[in-house]
Amino acid sequence: MAKSKTIKVDYLARVEGEGALYIRYDDAGVHDVKLKIFEPPRFFEGFMRGRDFREAPDITARICGICPIAYQMSAVHAMEDALGLTLPPELHALRRLIYCGEWIESHTLHIYMLHAPDFLGYPGAVAMAKDHPQIVQDGLSIKKAGNAIVGLLGGREVHPINVRVGGFYRVPSAGELQPLREQLLHGRDMAMETVRWAVSLPFPKFERALSEQYEFVALSHSNEYPMNRGSIVSTRGLAIPVRDYDSHFREEHVEYSSALHSTLIERGAYFVGPMARYNLNYDRLSPMVRQVAGEMGFPPFCANPFHSIVVRSLEVLFAFDEAVRLIDEYRKPDVAYISAETHAGTGYGATEAPRGLLYHRYSIDDAGKITEAKIVAPTSQNQKTIEDDLRLMLPKFMHLPEKQLQAQCEQAIRNYDPCISCSTHFLKMNLQRVERTSS
């Protein structure tokens, strides 16, 4: 007779959006892993049809309040591609600056408020603040510095209003950026402390065997750590321009999820996000960040997903360093935006959201109305990898008491900073142990 045990958690906390997890296992192995995403669909790709192409950055920002800049950036790049617009370097630099702001605020939110409580054993940052007030205070003020960038360049932190196809509505003077510089220098010092603190956290040991190694996928650019541009590369030799995305990646609709599952055609699951960027672009990080990583003994290639909190903190440090550089080298663009005749076309855009590669494709007609939209969010690309992690991890942690095992599973999901709102909601955890009597 088979005896089964079930553990249930109603709702996965500290993720953006709503999802559930179902795992069925016994001593012989894991039988079923399903990351279920119940976030009610909002149909962006549907209702964007017929809308003006200029609305894309304002509308797609509303897919996710945590990383609106990422949506705006991928959207404007795709539209500019469709129209054949090339932006001058000064406008690119400003876009990079606003993206630095989003990386800082989003990563810091994840590091301090969503993920650190897992490592330190608290239900959340507010509870953690009772014992570690300084840590939480520091996190909040680092986050505030990131928000200050987005607020200044974007007009507000959530759903900025200043990004448009061709550039910005208004560009700041060099003088306006100066007060930010002080705040960023202080933030950079605190980010350095964050790296130091993050490497000292207790990490579960989890490395995949060589044969089960991840395929990391990220943008890569000849002389930039990737944010806004580059080609798509992977640790298994993929190297394609963004416009070829659709011929290498495929989305499938599975019954238990309102987010589509992405796979690499004929290869399967892949991994996007900070670890993928870091592993594929280590040499493009600023010397200071590489030096700090080296001093902490943190390697240039990292395959333990629980270390993602360290990689995120290195990226926060990088974003501060980069933002200060961009401000120091800032030259106010001659015009806030460039425009072109509206004409029919198809455009492709991919940028690096804090959670990873975010791909947009649009077709527009001669009147500039969108005829087709396709958006692939980072979380839908990582879903299969998250499920694989749980499948491989569970046997190693099966000896743990159930409560701990469940916490470990939740933590493993949070390694990916999954943004369920983005990918389309409810994280219900359902861990089922099937116990067999020996036969």
Partner 1 sequence: MVQPARTLDEPNDKARLAVWKFTSCDGCQLSLLDCEDELLQLADCMEIAYFMEASSNPSPGPYDLSLVEGSVTTADEVRRIREIRAQSRVLVTIGACATAGGIQALRNFADVDDFIAAVYAQPEYIDTLKTSTPISTHVAVDFELHGCPINKKQLLEVISAFLHRRPPQVPPHSVCIECKMRGNVCVWVAHGTPCMGPVTHAGCGAICPAYSRGCYGCYGPKENPNTASLSHWWQRELGAEKVVLIENLRNFNAAAPDFEAESRRQEGGDGQK
* 43-51, 90-98, 187-195, 318-326 -> range binding partner 1 (CB under 8 A): 43-51
Among residues 1, 140, 2, the alpha carbon closest in space to that of 432 is found at: 2
43: helix, strand or coil: coil
Binding partner at 90 among partner 1, ligand SF4, none, C-beta below 5 to 8 Å by kind: none
63, 422 contact by CB (below 8 A) = yes
- Give the shortest CB-84-to-partner 1 separation in angstroms: 24
User: From start to end of 365-427, where are the E strands?
Assistant: 370-376
- Which of 322, 326, 321, 338 minimizes the C-alpha distance to 174? 326
Tell me if residue 329 falls in helix, strand or coil. coil
What is the CB neighbour count within 10 angstroms for residue 5? 11
With respect to partner 1, which residue has the nearer C-beta, 26 or 251? 251
Report 247-276 residues binding partner 1 (CB under 8 A). 252-255, 258, 260
CB of 66 to partner 1, least distance (A): 6
Among 24, 26, 65, 303, the residue binding partner 1 under the rule CB under 8 A is 65
Is the Cβ–Cβ distance between 16 and 420 less than 8 Å? yes
| Contact mark string toward partner 1, 115..144, x via CB under 8 A | --x-----xxxxx-x---x--xx--xx-xx
Which range touches partner 1 (CB under 8 A), out of 48-56, 198-206, 389-397, 431-439? Answer: 48-56
**Closest approach of partner 1 to the CB of residue 246, in Å:** 15
Q: Are residues 303 and 392 in contact, defined by beta-carbon separation less than 8 angstroms?
A: no
100 marked ligand binding residue: no
The Cα 166–Cα 79 span in angstroms is 9
Beta bridge partners of 111: none
> Is 425 flagged in the annotation as binding?
yes
According to the binding rule CB under 8 A, does residue 21 interact with partner 1? no
Q: How open is the CA angle 219-220-223, to the nearest 5 degrees?
A: 140
Residue 428 contacts partner 1 per CB under 8 A: no
Q: What type of residue sits at position 254?
A: V
Judge contact between 27 and 437, C-beta under 8 A.
no
Strand partners, 345: 364
Rounded Cα gap, residues 363 and 373, in angstroms: 7
User: Which of the stretches 78-86, 163-171, 193-201, 316-324 binds partner 1 when contact is defined by CB under 8 A?
Assistant: 163-171
64 labelled binding-site residue: yes
Task: Note every long-range contact of 265-268, with CB atoms under 8 Å and residues 24 or more positions apart, other chains counting.
Answer: 267/215, 267/236, 268/384
Determine the size of the site formed for partner 1 (CB under 8 A).
Answer: 68
By CB under 8 A, residue 18 contacts partner 1? yes
45 annotated as a binding-site residue: yes
Query: What part of residues 333-372 is at the interface with partner 1 (CB under 8 A)?
Result: 336
Question: Which two structure tokens, joined as six digits, stand for 39?
Answer: 């976030």
CB-based contacts of 17, cutoff 8 Å, min separation 6: 37, 39, 418, 419, 420, 421, 422, 423, 425
Annotated binding residue 375: yes
Nearer residue to partner 1 within complex by CB, 43 or 329: 43
CA 273 to CA 266: how far, in whole Å? Answer: 21
Out of partner 1, ligand SF4, none, what residue 41 binds, judged by CB under 5 to 8 A for its kind, is partner 1
Instruction: State the nearest-atom distance from the C-beta of 81 to partner 1, in Å.
Output: 21
**Three-state SS for 321?**
helix
- For partner 1, the closer of residues 172 and 230 by Cβ is 172
Residue 237, interface with partner 1 (CB under 8 A)?
Answer: no
Q: Which pair of structure tokens corresponds to residue 377?
A: 């969010």
**Site for partner 1 (CB under 8 A): which residue of 76, 78, 109, 218?**
109
- Feature table: binding site for Fe cation: 67, 422
- Binding site residue list: 45, 64, 67, 375, 419, 422, 425
Residue ranges of the binding site for Mg(2+): 45, 375, 425
Q: Which residues are near partner 1 by CB under 8 A? A: 10-18, 39-47, 49, 51-52, 55, 58-59, 62-66, 68, 105, 109, 113, 117, 123-127, 129, 133, 136-137, 140-141, 143-144, 147, 155-159, 161-162, 164, 169-170, 252-255, 258, 260, 336, 410, 421, 425
